Chains A and B, each alone.
Chain A
Amino acid sequence: MDTMTYTTQSLWTWWIAMYLFFGGLGAATLSISFLTDMYCRPHRKLVLWGALSGVVMLALSSAVLFGHLLHHTAVIYVLNPLVLFYQPHAWIAWGTQFILWMMVWGLLYALPYLRETPLFMRMPLVGSLLKTSLAEWLSGCCMKRRRIVGWLATINGIGITVYTGLLLQSFPAVALWHNPGVPLLFTVSAFSTAFAYLLVLLNVFILDENDQDIRHRYERFDVILIATELVILFSFFNYTLSGSESGYRSAQLLWNDFGWLIGFIGFGLIVPFFLELKGVIRGWGSRFPTVAAGLLVLMGGYMLRHYFMYAGVYAYPW
């Protein structure tokens, strides 16, 4: 006789998975490209590609969330930085501020490089903005305080990736979400997808033979992160198998689904892991396997968040 009702939710679906995916990916992309520029070697193209696409991803992520609000004008309360003082326990407040400031630091870090690039200086509106005395002054300041701006962006970036997991962790009724593994899993996944995305950029758009060391380093980091993600997922599997009915039902939903098993675990993690491992150990004769691995990791990054949203099970005692 079952007096309980078990159900999944239909409030936060694919669109919040997009929000979490693009938020994490954009933030980690910005952080990695700036750290590379600061500590590996100055890399104008990588910073420009990383910063601009990262900011676009963060803007897209915010737009998805904003589009689904019920009362759009009330968003003003969460855009105000003071929200962190009166709602310090609300992760969306932190996430919104992190994303906003990440876009600011991201653009400021890229500003000197933007002004060095003829393509942007020639662009109709962008060019005239970049030529203003304010842009020149800001660019000078950013050049002088490059590492400070870079680290502010990096700290914000790490904050966003952790936030995407903390957001789900703050929902106590669902065992799959309400545990310390979620922020860790989403952070590892965000940085893994960002390395994969940058590998795609470096192998398709920024084709420079001198970048072989960066490509190799990124691939090595990505292999480690994918392996870590697999270990975390294995822990999740064990955690959800017993302890609570909510968790057990989530496990049934996930591990009986071919999309999760073959699509995400198989093609989103295991296949790219071996492709990248071969690239790290022996190298590939062409760029295609690395690009394919990168695209699979990106697909897997979205699928993880998608399945997580749909597999959260609520247990109601009626």
Chain B
Amino acid sequence: MTHYAMVIDLNTCVGCNACMAACAMENQTPVWKNKWRTYVPEKEIGTSEMVMRRFFPRLCNHCDNPPCLTVCPTGATYKRPDGIVMIDPDRCMGCRACAMACPYDARYEVTYDDIKTGKEFYGELQRTSPGMDKCSFCAHRLDKGMKPACVETCVGSARQFGDLDNPADPVAQMVMSGVAQPLMPHLGTRPNVYYIDDMKRKG
């Protein structure tokens, strides 16, 4: 069984935001209100000559124990057998409980106005109803044998995508070695996005 996961190396992310642009075009996100499926916050850490700039790509962590799924009252949020957490936009009533439950700030609103603006912005919009939205690991691309748009476009190869159930997969090996760690594992969400820390080397 495939179990998709992503590893993000914070040492090699240069903050070019190409992943955000690729994702926005691929998934038609409401960029006009600064809402993205993947986002790269930046922060200056340290003082004087010890200062460093950190880029921290973030997205839905496709948790194995997703709190967004358990709180969803309509069943719009569901999990595929390959581990991807999806939203059925027709079934989502937009109560925002999922966004409240998500510890990774991965979800955003799509309103009636966004649908209207989206049609003007993108020409033809795949989405027809408002509701909550988030990263789908580009499930439609995976189903065609392609990689997620953000992974494919990443210039520093900071994002790597693979199958945790395949021991030969480099992503699975990085996770198994412990070099890549999930965010906030104490919450019990069992995320499938892992990070290689930059602090030990630079901080």
Stretch from B64-72, B135-143, B144-152, B163-171 forming part of the interface with A: B64-72
B159 to A: closest C-beta gap in Å: 15
Residues of B within 8 A of A317 (CB): 56, 183-184
- Between-chain CB contacts (< 8 Å), 8 pairs: A1-B203, A5-B43, A71-B94, A71-B131, A90-B73, A92-B71, A92-B73, A170-B70
For window 70-118 of A, CB contacts with B under 8 Å fall at 70-72, 74-75, 77-78, 83, 86-87, 89-93, 96
A65 CB to closest chain B CB, in angstroms? 7
Q: Note all chain A residues with C-beta closer than 8 A to B54.
A: 3, 318
| Residue in A closest to B203 when the chains form the complex, CB atoms | A1
Which of A70, A83, A87, A318 is within 8 Å of B94, CB to CB?
Answer: A70
By size class, the interface of chain B is 35 or more
- Chain A 136-164 interface mask (CB, 8 Å, partner B; 1/0): 00000000000000000000000000000
Known contacts A70-B110, A172-B188; A89 and B70 CB within 8 A of each other: yes
Q: Are B72 and A3 in contact (CB under 8 A)?
A: no
Stretch at the interface among B26-34, B99-107, B118-126: B99-107
A314 located at the interface, meaning its Cβ lies under 8 Å from any Cβ of chain B in the complex: yes
A235 at the A/B interface (Cβ < 8 Å)?
A: no
Could you tell me the distance between the alpha carbons of A317 and B90 in the complex, rounded to whole angstroms? Answer: 32
B92 adjacent to A170 (CB under 8 Å): no
At the interface, is chain B mostly helix, strand, loop or mixed? loop
**A-B contact sample (10 more), CB < 8 A, given A77-B73, A318-B58:** A69-B95, A70-B109, A70-B112, A70-B130, A71-B131, A90-B97, A93-B73, A170-B97, A171-B101, A318-B41
The range of chain A's interface size is: 35 or more
- The reply to whether A1 and B94 form a contact with Cβ atoms under 8 Å apart is no
Asked if B179 CB lies within 8 Å of chain A CBs, one says: no
Q: Are A87 and B72 interface neighbours, CB within 8 A?
A: yes
Give every chain B residue within 8 A of A83 (Cβ-Cβ).
Answer: 73-75
State whether B131 touches A78 (Cβ < 8 A): no
- Please indicate which of the listed interface residues A92, A167, A173 has the most CB atoms of chain B within 10 Å of its own CB: A173
- Is B189 interfacial (CB-CB < 8 Å)? yes
Q: Indicate if the CB atoms of A77 and B74 lie closer than 8 Å.
A: yes
Pick from A11, A70, A78, A173: contact of B111, CB below 8 A: A70
CB neighbours (8 Å) of A86 from chain B are 75
What chain A residues lie within 8 Å of B187 (beta carbons)?
172-173
Asked whether any CB of chain B lies closer than 8 Å to the CB of A238, the reply is no
Distance, CA A74 to CA B95, complexed state (A):
10
Residue from A77, A96, A170 with most neighbouring chain B CB atoms (10 Å): A77
A77 touches B45 (CB 8 A): no
A78 and B203 CA atoms in complex are apart in Å by: 49
Interface residue? A128 (CB, 8 A): no
Assess the B94–A173 pair: CB atoms within 8 A.
no
Q: Which residues of B contact A315 (CB under 8 A)?
A: 184
Whether A92 lies near B97 (C-beta < 8 A) is: yes
Q: Contact check, A173 vs B72: say whether CB atoms are below 8 A apart.
A: no
- Please measure, in the bound complex, the distance between the C-alpha atom of A91 and the C-alpha atom of B74, giving whole angstroms: 11
What CA separation (Å) do A172 and B199 show in the bound complex? 26
Complex contact B75–A172 (CB within 8 A): no
Report which of B41, B46, B96, B111 forms a contact with A12, defined as CB distance below 8 A. Answer: B96
**Inter-chain contacts of A258 with B (CB < 8 A):** none
- Closest Cβ of chain A to B15, distance in Å, is 12
Query: Are B94's CB and A69's CB within 8 A?
Result: yes
Assess whether A87 is in contact with B75, with CB atoms less than 8 Å apart: yes
Chain B residue with minimal CB distance to A75? B93
